[in-house]
């Protein structure tokens, strides 16, 4: 009886509105929600393993503190390790394929530890005379690039549209993109889409912001996506800065990370402002490879 | 008692009892609940609605989880005292940020603590090598037993929340659940505020307003409480920052003034901050539904002290309703909450 009720609910409402007990939740999390390492040493430890599937991680920091680099790095690492397909929503034309190529080139570990998937696919692309180690760089790069889908999004309506399409495609075709699923959704930066619509005296802007947040969290939970968004910082008075988008947005991300870059160097400092599992306030230094 | 009354209302009316008998009767049917600190000061009973208010990161959800762990832990298990209530928790996750690993972590800590203190008392610490495996399976069994009593539902909008409340009500009536829900938790109540207010003017005719949604929610929880006396614990996050200048239902006039002159806020920031960030935004029907209210604050960790990575931030709690004049300081550690004197 209970099972039937659960199934009824699942068919009509999906996972929202379904009653779970603690053990079911625990099984779901340990079974299908993993940590996706960003490849940035220090940050992964700070986050307890990386970006978590099913959660929304926000990276915030002052201008040119390395937020976009953080995103590009995570995208290349996840794609190069064949963990799945990365969807990169670019709101300010900051996505740089050549930067991704440099990151992949600059991290030798990414090529040495090829996943089993790549060894299966390689013979289709290559003449037999090539050994795996002799595989030309550009072919390997092409394979990695193929699993990063970049889309430009310039306003919140386009974002809603893209997210809606993503949801439909995830629901309809779970085996899309050559057998590998989307596992990471990056929006760089979400604040440039949301900041213009909030504020003022009408609630519709904020309503839209919270709706976007709920869609993101729903997608993350139901399709095991790790969602990474960036947010800029605004003045909090007295020369201090704080993450933008205000108090209502503060309650949205599961994990909030603030990064800052030491002047004139490529050493960044990351601080956890919020984490569902670990204590906040912890900090680490990491290097953004140039 | 409710059953008797339905059978024969006259008999129920005719019963005369002394105040002492009534008191002992109601004390046994609705015993007072002592929650883990810092919620221990107010005397709470099933049927009460406790609102835990405070800004993000002030430990609201953590207090919920601590209370949940206390509720789902048994009082005693295989001779070891755990001091829990052994009852079920219903957790409504509205902001979709519940992390089951965190709950399991707190639960494991509690179980391990109680076990080790029990073993210390019986003095069998030497043979820990052989006992390890047994101990682990014992702890896992207890963990899964406790987790079965934790019921969870996530809702993405107010309609889903209301639907979930209705399901809960109809299910508990037909007793499919099989467990008695003792704590109802909602994290956090203001999540859909903007969505509901935004829909208000767009679909004025067919859609429900914030007021309408809140009325239905309160009504549904009331109906459930009548059937099954439970303690309701609700968190509420502020939705206005200290310098957002938005119009809202309560002070349209003054907000216009703020819009004109934002410097007013800047000058009196310190005093204004508290009042603005804890400004009431829920409709009055919700406010009158709440019987107890506690405010949490967190002392913002200074960015300059970032290098000392293991600095614990201090939280303060203050009961607003009933108004207890004492403020309590506490810190959140892995195992739970430590009161700071």
pLDDT digits (tens, 9 = 90+) for A229-282: 999 999 887 788 888 988 889 889 999 999 998 887 888 999 998 888 887 788
Name the pairing type of β-strands A56-60 and B231-236: unpaired
Asked whether residue B329 is assigned to any structural domain, the reply reads: no
Count the domains in chain B. 2
Query: Residue B25's domain spans which residues?
Result: 1-30
The pLDDT value recorded for residue B135 is: 83
Asked whether residue B146 is assigned to any structural domain, the reply reads: yes
CA distance B197 to B181: 32
The pLDDT value recorded for residue B195 is: 87
Give the per-residue SS3 of chain B.
CHHHHHHCHHHHHHCCCCHHHHHHHHHHHCCCECCCCCCCCCCECCCCEEEEECCCCCCHHHHHHHHHHHHHCCCEECCEECCCCCCEEEEEECCCCCCHHHHHHHHHHHHHHHHHHHHHHHCCCCCHHHHHHHHHHHHHHHHHHHHHCEEEEECCCHHHHHHHHHHHHHHHHHCCCCCCEEEEEEECCCCCHHHHHHHHHHCCCCCCCHHHHHHHHHHHHHHHHHHCCCEEEEEECCCCCCCCCCCCCCCHHHHHHHHHCCHHHHHCHHHHHHHHHCCCCCCHHHHHHCCEEEEEEECCCCHHHHHCCCCCCEEEEEEEECCCCCEEEEEEECCEEEEEC
Best B53, B55, B56, B336 member to test A by mutation, with max A CBs in 10 Å, is B56
Q: Are residues B12 and B146 in the same domain?
A: no
Q: Are residues B100 and B202 in the same domain?
A: yes
Q: Are residues B103 and B230 in the same domain?
A: yes
pLDDT at position B170 over 60: yes
How would residue B201 be classed by pLDDT, with cut points 50, 70 and 90?
A: low
Percent of chain B beyond pLDDT 70? 73
* Chain-chain contact of B176 with A1 (C-beta, under 8 angstroms): yes
How would residue A109 be classed by pLDDT, with cut points 50, 70 and 90?
A: low
Q: Residues B138-164: what's their mean pLDDT?
A: 91
pLDDT single digits (tens) B116-136: 888 777 765 555 555 678 888
CATH number at residue B97: 3.40.50.300
pLDDT at position B258 over 60: no
Residues 6+ apart with CB under 8 A from B129: none
The pLDDT value recorded for residue A135 is: 60
Q: Are residues B214 and B283 in the same domain?
A: yes
Return the domain boundaries, chain A: 50-92+139-290
Compute CA distances B34 → B40, B42, B188, B325, B327, whole Å.
Answer: 6, 8, 22, 19, 18
pLDDT at position B323 over 90: no
Q: Are residues B156 and B16 in the same domain?
A: no
Q: Are residues B7 and B94 in the same domain?
A: no
Q: Tell me if B49 sits within 8 A of B234, measured CB to CB.
A: yes
pLDDT single digits (tens) A59-100: 999 988 889 999 999 999 999 887 889 999 999 999 998 899
How would residue A128 be classed by pLDDT, with cut points 50, 70 and 90?
A: very low
B311 touches chain A (CB under 8 A): yes
Q: Are residues B44 and B15 in the same domain?
A: no
Helix axis angle, B60-72 relative to B100-122, nearest 10°?
A: 50
Question: Which of B152, B155, B188 is closest, CB to CB, to A251?
Answer: B188
pLDDT single digits (tens) B79-97: 888 888 888 999 999 989 9
First to last CA, chain B: 44
Q: Are residues B10 and B139 in the same domain?
A: no
CA distance A48 to A33: 13
Asked whether residue B86 is assigned to any structural domain, the reply reads: yes
Asked whether residue B44 is assigned to any structural domain, the reply reads: yes
Q: Are residues B96 and B19 in the same domain?
A: no
Q: Are residues B100 and B158 in the same domain?
A: yes
B300 touches chain A (CB under 8 A): no
CA distance B252 to B257: 9
Question: Which of B244, B269, B311 is closest, CB to CB, to A237?
Answer: B269
Write down the ipTM of this complex. Answer: 0.82
The CATH topology of domain A50-92+139-290 is Rossmann fold (3.40.50)
């Amino acid at each position: 009886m209970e099972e039937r009720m659960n199934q009824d609910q699942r068919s009509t409402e999906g996972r929202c509105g379904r009653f779970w007990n603690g053990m079911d939740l625990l099984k779901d999390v340990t079974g299908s929600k993993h940590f996706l390492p960003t490849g940035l040493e220090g940050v992964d430890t700070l986050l307890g393993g990386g970006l978590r599937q099913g959660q929304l991680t926000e990276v915030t920091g002052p201008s040119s503190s390395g937020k976009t680099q953080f995103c590009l790095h995570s995208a290349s690492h996840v794609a190069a390790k064949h963990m799945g397909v990365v969807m990169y929503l670019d709101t300010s034309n900051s996505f740089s394929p050549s930067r991704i190529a440099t990151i992949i080139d600059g991290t030798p570990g990414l090529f040495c530890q090829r996943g089993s998937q790549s060894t299966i696919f390689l013979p289709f692309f290559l003449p037999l005379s090539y050994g795996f180690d002799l595989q030309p760089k550009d072919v390997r790069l092409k394979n990695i690039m193929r699993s990063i889908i970049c889309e430009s999004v310039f306003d919140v309506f386009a974002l809603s549209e893209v997210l809606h399409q993503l949801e439909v495609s995830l629901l309809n075709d779970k085996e899309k993109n050559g057998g590998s699923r989307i596992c990471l959704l990056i929006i760089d930066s979400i604040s440039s889409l949301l900041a213009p619509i909030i504020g003022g005296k009408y609630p519709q802007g904020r309503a839209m912001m919270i709706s976007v947040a709920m869609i993101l969290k729903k997608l993350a939970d139901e399709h095991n996506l790790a969602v990474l968004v960036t947010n800029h910082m605004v003045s909090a008075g007295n020369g201090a800065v704080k993450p933008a988008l205000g108090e209502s947005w503060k309650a949205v991300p599961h994990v909030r990370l603030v990064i800052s870059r030491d002047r004139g160097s490529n050493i960044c400092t990351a601080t956890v402002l919020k984490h569902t599992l670990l204590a906040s306030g912890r900090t680490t230094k990491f290097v953004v490879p140039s | 008692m409710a059953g008797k009354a339905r059978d024969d209302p006259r008999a129920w009316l005719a019963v005369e009892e002394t105040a002492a008998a009534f008191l002992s009767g109601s004390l046994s049917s609705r015993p007072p609940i002592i929650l883990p600190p810092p919620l221990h000061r107010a005397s709470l009973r099933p049927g009460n609605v406790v609102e835990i208010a405070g800004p993000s990161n002030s430990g609201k959800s953590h207090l919920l989880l601590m209370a949940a762990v206390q509720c789902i832990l048994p009082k005693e298990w295989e001779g070891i005292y755990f001091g829990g209530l052994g009852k079920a928790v219903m957790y409504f996750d509205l902001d979709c940020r519940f992390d089951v690993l965190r709950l399991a972590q707190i639960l494991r800590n509690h179980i391990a603590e109680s076990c080790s203190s029990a073993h210390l008392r019986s003095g069998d610490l030497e043979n820990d090598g052989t006992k390890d495996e047994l101990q682990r399976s014992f702890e896992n069994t207890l963990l899964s037993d406790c987790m079965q009593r934790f019921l969870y539902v996530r809702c993405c909008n107010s309609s889903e929340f209301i639907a979930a409340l209705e399901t809960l009500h109809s299910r508990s009536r037909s007793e499919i659940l099989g467990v008695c829900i003792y704590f109802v938790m909602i994290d956090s109540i203001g999540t859909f505020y903007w969505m509901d207010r935004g829909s208000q003017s767009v679909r004025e005719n067919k859609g429900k307003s914030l007021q309408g949604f809140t009325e239905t929610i309160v009504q549904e929880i009331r109906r459930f409480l009548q059937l099954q006396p439970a303690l309701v614990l609700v968190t509420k996050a502020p939705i206005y920052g200290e310098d957002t200048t938005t119009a809202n239902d309560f002070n349209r006039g003054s907000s216009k003034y703020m819009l004109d002159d934002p410097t007013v806020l800047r000058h009196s920031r310190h005093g204004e901050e508290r009042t603005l960030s804890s400004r009431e935004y829920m409709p009055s029907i919700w406010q009158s539904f709440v019987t107890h209210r506690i405010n949490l604050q967190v002392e913002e960790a200074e960015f300059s002290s970032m290098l000392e990575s293991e600095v614990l931030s201090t939280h303060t709690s203050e009961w607003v309703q009933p108004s207890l004049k004492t403020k309590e300081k506490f810190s959140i550690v892995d195992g739970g909450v430590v009161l700071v004197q």
